[in-house]
Structure 1
Amino acid sequence: MIKTRFSVVVLSLLLFVGNFHAFGAKGNWYIGDWVSWSNFRYVTSVASDFKYLYFGTTGGVMRFNKFMRNFEDPWTTSDGLANNWVVRLYYDQPKDEVVIDTKGGISRYNLTFQKWYAGGEYAAMASNNFLPPDKYRKFFLDVGYSFVPGSDYIQDNYLQQFPVVFGYNEDNDNVWLATWGLGLALGNSLTGQMRFLNYGLDEKNVRSIYIDGQILYLGGVGFGSQAKGVTKFNRQDNSWEYWEPISNFNFYSADANVIAGDSAFIWIGTTSGLVRYSKKEKQFRTYTRSWGLWENEITALKSDGKRLWVGTTRGLNVKEPGSDTLIKVELPGLSRIEVRTIEIDSSLIWVGTDQGVFKLDLQDKSREKFVDPYGVVNSRVNCIVKSGDQIWFASRQGILMYDTKQNQYKVYSQGVDIPGGEVLQIAVHPYAVWAATTGGAAKLDRSNNVWYLYTEFDGLLNNYVKTVVLEKDYVWFGTPEGLTRFHWYVPGRIE
C-alpha cells in the first residue's frame, strides 16, 4: 500500500534476506485480509496432508477440507504465491510445509507457523495414490459427460473435449479426477459414480460484480476469444454455477460489460445484446436492436425497481415495466453517443457518456447537459455514484464531488491527488471513497483527506482494477486475473 498526501509519496522498501523472507500474509497483512478467486478449471497437480487436499491449477491452489468435505479459501498471489500458475506441489511432512513450484518460482507455506516463505528446493517423493486410466475410466460421469473411447479425454453433449490430467485416490473410497478445462470431479469407488465440482470463476477477467444478498454475479469479456460464461457464486452454501451460452437457449453471448438486477430478474449487458434471466422461471432472453436498442453492445445498466435504464455504445434506452420494447431516449444535440454509466437520484437520471454528463428530469421531462466549473466532467465520464446529497463523478481528469444541497464542488485531480491511473469506477462510504484505477485500487480517507494506493504488493491479482463494489467492512475488486475481496474496515488498524 502506498500513502499519498497531495504530491508527497512515501514508499516503504522491504529488505529480503536470501530466499527465505517470511511473512504471515502478503504485504504484512493478516491472513484472510485479502482473498482472491480466479479460474481454477485447469488442474496441474495434487498434494495431501492430514487435513487438506491441495490442487495446483493455472489460477492458484484449491484447498479441499477432507473432514468438512468442502473447499476453503484458495491460495493465490494475494496470499503469498510467487505466481498463480502452479506447476507442481507437495507436502513436506518433517517441516509441515506445503511446497509449491510456480512459474514465478517456489513458494512455501508453513502450516505450524502459518507463514509464507519464498524460495527453497523442490524435493517431492513419488506418490502411489495416482491411478492408471483403466481405473478411473470405469466411473460413470455426470449426465452429459462421457469418456472418449481410446483416448484420455472427456466429451460433453456439445462435443467439447477436455483432457484428463490425472486420477487420484484419497486413501479411502474417494477418487478424484483432474481435467484441463473442466476442473475437478469427485467419485466413489463403491458406487462407481463421479460428479464434477464447480469452484472458482468461469471467466477470470472480471469487469462487473453484482451483489444480490448472499449471491455474487460475476462477468467479464474474454481475452482473444469470447467469454465462456457468467459466474454465480452463492456464499451461503459456497456453491458455484456457470451460465454459458452454449448450454442455455436465448443466451447469445457471455461477454459481459455490466450486470444489474431487481427482485425478479438479473440483467446482463453483453457485447451482443441485453440478457434477461428470470429468477422464477430460470430462463434466459436476449434483447437486441430488433427490440429497440440503439446498439447491441450494452455498456451501462441501472434499475430503479420498475424501469431499467440501458446504456449502449450509441445511446440511451429505457425499458418500462410490462413491456418488451426498449424506448430510445434522445439526448440534446447528440447522436451516436456512448453511454458509460447511469445513476438515479429520485426523479433525476444522471447519464455519463464519452462526451460528458447529461441530466434527465422525469418530472418536468427536461434534458440538459451538466457542466462543472472545473471541467472535470466535460469529456469522458466513467462512473457516477449517488451518496446522500452528493453526486460523485469519475472521469479521465479525476474525481468530482458535487453537493446538490449546498451547490458546492470538490475536485481530486488525476495524477496529483489520486494515485494509480485513470479512475474507471468508484464506490462511496461515509469514511472512504474507493476508486478502481488502471494502476491499482485507490482509497480516500475522508476524515484526513489522504489517499492510499493498493497494488499487487498488497494483495490485488492485477493492478488494472476494472470494478469496485463495497459491502460493509469488505470491498470487492474485479481485475483481468480474477476476483479479490479485501477486509478494509478494521477499527484501530494503522495504515
Structure 2
Amino acid sequence: MKFHPSSLCPHPLLICIALLMAASSIASAQNLYDFGDWISYRDTRGVRSIDGGGQEIFFATSGGILSYHLLKNFWYDPMAVGYGLTEAVDLGDPVLLFLDTETGLLWVANRTEVLQFNLRQERWKRVEQHLWPQSERVVNFGAGGDHVYIETIPEYDYDRWVLNYKPLPHPLWQDDVTRYVGDRDHGGFMRDMNPAETEDIRWRGVRSMQPLVTAQLGHTTIAHPPAGFPTVTTPHGWLWQFDGNLIDPRLRPYPIMDWYLDSYNRFWTAQWGAGILKVNLMNTSSELIMQGPAGNDIRTILVTEDAIWMGGANNGDGLGISRADRSYKSWSFIENRDSQRIRTTEVNEIAEWQNLLWFATEDGLLSYDKKNKWGLYVVQDNLYHNRVTALEPVGDELWIGTEDGLCVMNAEIFRIDRIPQDGLEMYGVTDIVACGDSIYVGSPVGLFAAAKGSRAFVFGSLDPGLIAEEVSDISVFENEHWLVTERGVMKYDHTRRKSDSWLATVWMKHTHPTCVCAMEKYVWVGTKDDGFYRYKKGSNEWLNYNTADGLLSNHVQTIEQDGDDLLIGTDEGLTRFYWNRPSRNK
C-alpha cells in the first residue's frame, strides 16, 4: 500500500482542535480563580518607588506592589504574585512603577521585565523581557502623546550618581542614558535612537526627584533644604531628618528612595528598609506602614484568636519573628535586640500553651507573655540540646523535641524532664503530635509512639512501601494521623489500627514531600520543588497546585488551615489560598 505524504500529517482541523484544547488547559490555571483567591506576603519594607493618581497610590517594593485608596483610607491586599491572563505572574523585584491615569494602566519594571497591570480588568501581563542589558537599571518611566518611555542607566552610575547623592541625584546621572519607546497601550518597546525632550511627557523616577517648594506643601509647613521636605512629627522613638533619612529607636538610618504629594494634603515617602511614611501636612503627624513578614523564610505558622504568628530562618539585623493581625493589614516584628533572652530569631515551631507563646529556636526555647516579657530555657534547664525542633501542647504538659532527644515541661512549676532513651532512636526529633490516647514522635529513623501519661516510647513501623526513614511532618484529624517522609505519605487510623501509604514517585511526579495538613475531606501535602498537592479522601485523587496557580514558590515548608484559607509557608514568603470558595469546582 502506498501512502500519500499528507496522510502522515494530522488534518488541519485536528491541529486546530488540539491547539484550542492546549490553550484551554493552560488558561484554566487562572480562570478557575477569582481575584483574591491567592494572596501572597513578602517583606515589603524595602520601598523604592511611588506613583498615584485619581484615588489610588501605588508603591514598588522589594516584596511586590502595595496600593492604597486615598479617599477610603484603605490598604488593598499586596500583589507579590499577580493574576495573569493564562497563569500567575510573579512580580519579581520591582524597582520602578508608573501609573498612567489616561489609559488605566500601571507599568512596573523589575530587574529583567516590564509588566503591565490593567486596573479595570485587574489582570497582569508581561510586556517585555530582557529589553535592557543585565548591567543596566530602569530609572525612569514616562508617558506622553501615544507613547510610553523607559530610560535605563548602568547600575554603576545609579549607585554613584543617584544613591550616593540622596535625596537629589547628581546631574551626571544623565550622561549615559538609554531610552526605549513603545505604544502607550501595548508596549512593543524599541530603542529610541533620537530621543527628544518634550514638555508633554510626564516622568516618574530619577527625573521626578525635584526639590519641593512651600507652595506645594499647602503653606501649612515650611519646605526645608536640600529637597524641600516638610517638618514631620514621627512615631514615638523615630526621628525624621530633612535630608530624607528616617532614624529608628536603635539609631539605624533608612534612606529615602522616592516621595509623592497626593491631592489630599498628604506627603508620602519610600524609606528603604523601614517601609512607607505617610504624613498629614495639616498637622505634620505621620504614620509608618510596614507590611509583610520580617524575612521571607516561613517554616512555621501559628493561628491564634487575634493574630497569625510566623517564623523561619530569619535571623539578623531587621529580621525576626512576625505577627499579623487577622486582617493582615497590621504587622509587627520581634528582633534579637528586643530582649537579652532572645539568642536567635531562627524559629522551627511556634505553639500556644498556658496563655504563653512558645518558640522553638535554634538556640533555646523561648516563652512570651504578650506583654513583652520573655523567658529562655536551655540545656542548663534540663533540655537535651539548645536546638529545639518541635513543640506539642498536651493538657498541662508541653512536649519539647530537640536535636538530642525528647523532653516534657510540666505546667505547675514549668520544670523540664528528659524522656529516657537507651540509644540514638529519639535523636533529632522532627515533629510531635497527640492523637487519641497516644503521643507520636517523628525522628530521622522513623515514628515512635507512647500512651499519654507514659514515658515509654516504642518504634512504630511504617506502612509497606515506606521504609524506616525520617518522618518530616505529622498532622492529625480526629482518629487519623498523616505523616510524610521523603518517599511518600502515610495515613494511620488510630481507631481501626489500619494504615495506607502513597509513594511520591507514583502520585507526586517524583518530588519529595515536606509537610502535611489533614482536614475532614482533604489532605494537603507540601513538596520540596512542586508546590503542594490536595488528596481527596475516598477517591484517591491527587491534585497539584504550584506557582502557575498563584503560589509564591514551589518550595513549600509548612501548611496550616485557617478556616476557609490555607496558609502556606514557603522559602520566599507566605501565601494565603482561599481553598473553600463554593463557586470553584476543581
Equivalents in 2 of 1:297, 1:221: separation in Å?
13
Distance verdict in 2 for CA 1:484–1:324, change over 3 Å: same
Partner residue in 2 for 1:126: 203
Deviates more, 1:23-32 or 1:309-318: 23-32
Report the structure number with the largest CA radius of gyration.
2
Q: Is the 8 A contact 1:431 1:445 kept in 2?
A: yes
Partner residue in 2 for 1:415: 505
2:319 equivalent to 1:228: yes
Equivalents in 2 of 1:363, 1:231: separation in Å?
34
Q: Is the 8 A contact 1:462 1:479 kept in 2?
A: yes
Residue identity opposite 1:85 in structure 2: D
Q: Is the 8 A contact 2:364 2:377 kept in 1?
A: yes
Alignment of 1:53-452 (within 5 A): 53-80=57-84, 81-119=89-127, 123-124=142-143, 125-126=202-203, 134-136=227-229, 138-147=231-240, 152-222=244-314, 228-236=319-327, 238-262=329-353, 264-279=355-370, 281-334=371-424, 337-363=427-453, 365-374=455-464, 376=466, 378-419=468-509, 421-439=511-529, 440-452=531-543
Task: Give per-residue Cα distances to partners, 1:89-110, cap 9 Å, x unaligned.
Answer: 1112222111112224122121
Distance verdict in 2 for CA 1:52–1:249, change over 3 Å: farther
Residue identity opposite 2:293 in structure 1: L
Equivalents in 1 of 2:23, 2:324: separation in Å?
36
| 1:464 aligned residue (555, 560, 583) | 555
Secondary structure in 2 aligned to 1:339?
A: coil
Equivalents in 2 of 1:306, 1:488: separation in Å?
34
Equivalents in 2 of 1:82, 1:382: separation in Å?
29
Higher relative contact order (CA 8 A, sep 6+): 1
Runs of 4+ in structure 1 off by over 6 angstroms are none
Q: Is the 8 A contact 1:412 1:418 kept in 2?
A: no
Q: RMSD between aligned alpha carbons?
A: 2.7
Deviates more, 1:53-62 or 1:170-179: 170-179
Identical positions, percent = 23
Partner residue in 1 for 2:52: 48
| 2:566 aligned residue (475, 480, 491) | 475
Distance verdict in 2 for CA 1:337–1:131, change over 3 Å: farther
Between Structure 1 and Structure 2, which shows a larger proportion of helix residues?
2
Between Structure 1 and Structure 2, which shows a larger proportion of strand residues?
1
Equivalents in 1 of 2:468, 2:435: separation in Å?
20
Equivalents in 2 of 1:373, 1:444: separation in Å?
18
Equivalents in 2 of 1:15, 1:155: separation in Å?
53
Equivalents in 1 of 2:575, 2:509: separation in Å?
20
Distance verdict in 2 for CA 1:306–1:283, change over 3 Å: same
User: Is there any run of 5+ residues in structure 1 with no aligned partner, and where?
Assistant: 1-11
Q: CA deviation at 1:14?
A: 4.7
Partner residue in 2 for 1:9: none
TM score, norm. by length of structure 2: 0.76
Residue identity opposite 1:119 in structure 2: V
Q: CA deviation at 1:38?
A: 0.4
Deviates more, 1:285-294 or 1:364-373: 364-373
Secondary structure in 2 aligned to 1:416?
A: helix
User: Is there any run of 5+ residues in structure 2 with no aligned partner, and where?
Assistant: 1-20, 132-140, 144-201, 213-225
Q: CA deviation at 1:477?
A: 0.5
Secondary structure in 2 aligned to 1:251?
A: coil
Q: Is the 8 A contact 1:269 1:299 kept in 2?
A: yes
Count the aligned residue pairs.
476
Equivalents in 2 of 1:39, 1:112: separation in Å?
27
Residue identity opposite 1:388 in structure 2: E
